[in-house]
Amino acid sequence: MKLLLDTANLEDIKEGMEYYPMIGVTTNPSILAKSGEPMFDHLRKIRQIIGRDKLLFAQVMGETYEEMMADAKRMVEEVDEDLHIKVPMTQEGLKAIKAMKAQGYKVLATAVFSAQQAMLAGAAGADFVAPYISRMMQAGMDAYAIIEEIAIAYEEHSIETKIIAASFKHSVQVEKCILAGSPYITATLPIYKQMLAEPLTDVAVKGFQSDWQNAFDGVLPHKM
């Protein structure tokens, strides 16, 4: 199980990287637009925070194959060669994924809503595929069953493409996606904080503190 932050907020990235076991950051055009600064400048700031050993994802904006290929080339030139390129799972996008992989790009097939799309992305050689969980559910689809179908298909046919479940509204969705077979998750910092929060843990910690205070006058172990 590997976790990524789905944000372009620099403060959230700093906090998430400091406190949580994050392996990288995913962005999209909508997220980057909220930063209020040029795309490449902001991506370079994110890279500076997370380092080259972490994964960083950014999405092409072109709609045609030619535009997507040109976008990918420019993005790698402006950021770095380790940047993962997100490509929408359209017919033009599928063509671009094939070509990008042939040229050595790192690629994620994004905006995936079915196991069939994920199968095509896997056959095209995409490194990752990102099913949109909440949006599936809003459309009346069984998102967890789709995750399970993708995971089974990839395993049975030895497809190396990894699932990164995305688009969450609450932490229970994350839990269910992991149990359904998604080895990677990308979510916002508030979602991860929901996963961590547990009132019973707070009660237990207060009990430990009270017992320690009574026995050792609150002197911490490293000062004893």
Per-residue pLDDT of the chain (224 residues; tens, 9 = 90+): 999 999 999 999 999 999 999 999 999 999 999 988 999 999 999 999 999 999 999 999 999 999 999 999 999 999 999 999 999 999 999 999 999 999 999 999 999 999 999 999 999 999 999 999 999 999 999 999 999 999 999 999 999 999 999 999 999 999 999 999 999 999 999 999 999 999 999 999 999 988 888 888 778 788 77
| 8 Å CB contact between 197 and 186 | no
Q: CB-based burial of residue 4 (10 Å sphere; 0-12 exposed, 13-18 middle, 19+ buried)?
A: buried
C-alpha dihedral sign at 97, 102, 103, 105: positive
Counting Cα atoms < 13 Å in the Cβ hemisphere of 78 gives 17
d(CA 12, CA 16): 6
| 8 Å CB contact between 61 and 86 | no
54 as an active site residue: the answer is: no
Within-domain flag for 203: no
d(CA 58, CA 119): 22
The amino acid at residue 111 is A
Within-domain flag for 219: no
Q: CB-based burial of residue 180 (10 Å sphere; 0-12 exposed, 13-18 middle, 19+ buried)?
A: buried
What is the pTM for the complete model shown? 0.94
Within-domain flag for 218: no
Q: Among 73, 86, 193, 223, which one carries the catalytic annotation?
A: 86
* Residues sharing a CB contact under 8 Å with residue 120, sequence separation 6 or more, in sequence order: 89, 94
Within-domain flag for 211: no
Joined together, the tokens standing for residue 10 give 């620099």
Q: Is 126 helix (H, G, I), strand (E, B) or coil?
A: coil
| 8 Å CB contact between 31 and 71 | no
Within-domain flag for 222: no
Within-domain flag for 57: yes
- What's the pLDDT at 220? 79
Within-domain flag for 27: yes
- Domains contained in the chain, number: 1
Within-domain flag for 43: yes
Residue-number span of the structural domain to which 7 is assigned: 2-198
d(CA 13, CA 22): 9
d(CA 194, CA 170): 8
CA angle centred on 28, ends 23 and 29, rounded to 5°: 155
User: What CATH code is carried by the domain that includes residue 115?
Assistant: 3.20.20.70
- What's the pLDDT at 222? 81
